[in-house]
Amino acid sequence: MSNNGRFTGKKTPPRGYDAEAMQRRVDWLAGQTGHQLDKFALEDPASYKGLVENQIGYIGLPLSIAGPLQIDGTYAKGDFHVPLCTLEGTLSLSMTRGLYLTYQAGGITSRHIKQELSRSPVFVFETLSEAYDFLPWLEAHTDEIRAAAESTTQHGKLLSIEKHPIHNRVIMEFKYNTAEAAGQNMVTMATDTACRWIRENYKSRNPFRHLVESNFCCDKNPAQKTILHGRGHHVISSCTVPNALLKKLLRVDVNDIVQCINDLHLGSQLAGVVGLNLHTSNALAALYLALGQDVACVAENCVGIGTYEKIGGDLFVTLSMPSITVGTVGGATRLTQQHRNLELLGCTGENGSRKLAEIICASALALEISLAGAIVSNEFARAHAQFGR
């Protein structure tokens, strides 16, 4: 079990929009998980140093809860309720529906594949031959370059340096394990130091220049490369849902959902969508805001691939997310409510970032299934008319 404890009584959050309904949910969450929400208080402006400049005030955003999530992961094991920060009506209810469906089906299986965050500098020479001569020198001095990069961080480790010659340039991709941090600043400072060491020690016939980022790593950009190689945490989640449960909770048949998902994927392919999913960005944005993550990373993290297959008479759903750029230390994770939300999920210790990535992928999978059911049953518009206005 997770540190959330055992679920008792009603499995899903109580409904309602007024203050009394909100308090019922707060009390219900405490009963389910042992986690008591703190009374809301604004952070001292000084707490935002390093997070924002020119602050003039605050904007209030609601915090909601979705669940129950039951997960058997590499790092995340047990039962969880997931905090969301969103202004999109139906999202919290839809994720809860998907989580409850998968809970009744026996839970979601997740596996953490790898953790690699990259930065991709480019070195520019006057001639092709100078760029060509640079390659064996890099190979011979890998240890010194690694030492320079790792001198800037206690926890980050440089895993590899890939070299990609193009014209009179050499693009490199420095790949790091960033431990519990999301690591965007970590890999920037480490790679910058490594590049400066190269500039000081490599003797070229003519002057050359470099940029610490060539955009080859696709930072905050959706890209086919990210689907193939990943950036951040790579997680795969899957669930098998009995057809009888699909009919009961989503009001769809396994044959209908498999056929209709093919239609949706065809539309995505014709439009040139990067990845094959319905709206993983919705889950990511709501989770990232609630958990102190860099919300702009949604642009590159949303390139997941979801598939729906019929196995026996049941629905087998899989979501592969090769890019989940999250951490449990640094950035906005130090803010009071965001840190408390990480505590709610039990993601503040060793391997907390990997555990968090598995919870995020599983939550996105549940939201994908719920939306697929709404579209296939033709309840999508009616649900938004009822809950999203």
Give the residue numbers annotated as catalytic, written as ranges: 88, 294, 384
Q: Is residue 223 within a helix (H) or strand (E), and if so which, with residue range? A: none
Q: Which one-letter amino acid corresponds to residue 145?
A: I
What's the rounded Cα separation, in Å, for the pair 258 and 249?
Answer: 17
Beta bridge partners of 232: 116
Beta bridge partners of 122: 171, 211
Burial 286-315 (b: 16+ CB within 10 A, else e): bbbbbbbbbeebbbbbbbbbbebeeeeebb
What's the rounded Cα separation, in Å, for the pair 106 and 26?
Answer: 26
Rg of the chain over Cα atoms, rounded to whole angstroms, equals 23
The dihedral through the CA atoms of 325, 328, 334, 335 has a sign that is positive
Using a 10 angstrom Cβ sphere, with 0-12 exposed, 13-18 middle and 19 or more buried, the burial of residue 58 is exposed
In the DSSP assignment, the letter for residue 48 is G
What's the rounded Cα separation, in Å, for the pair 163 and 165?
Answer: 6
Beta bridge partners of 348: none
Please answer whether residues 122 and 246 qualify as being in contact, where contact means their C-beta atoms are separated by less than 8 angstroms: no
For the residues of 83-140, what is the DSSP string, one character each?
EEE---TTHHHHHHHHHHHHHHTT-EEEEEEEEEEEE--EEE-SSHHHHHHHHHHHHH
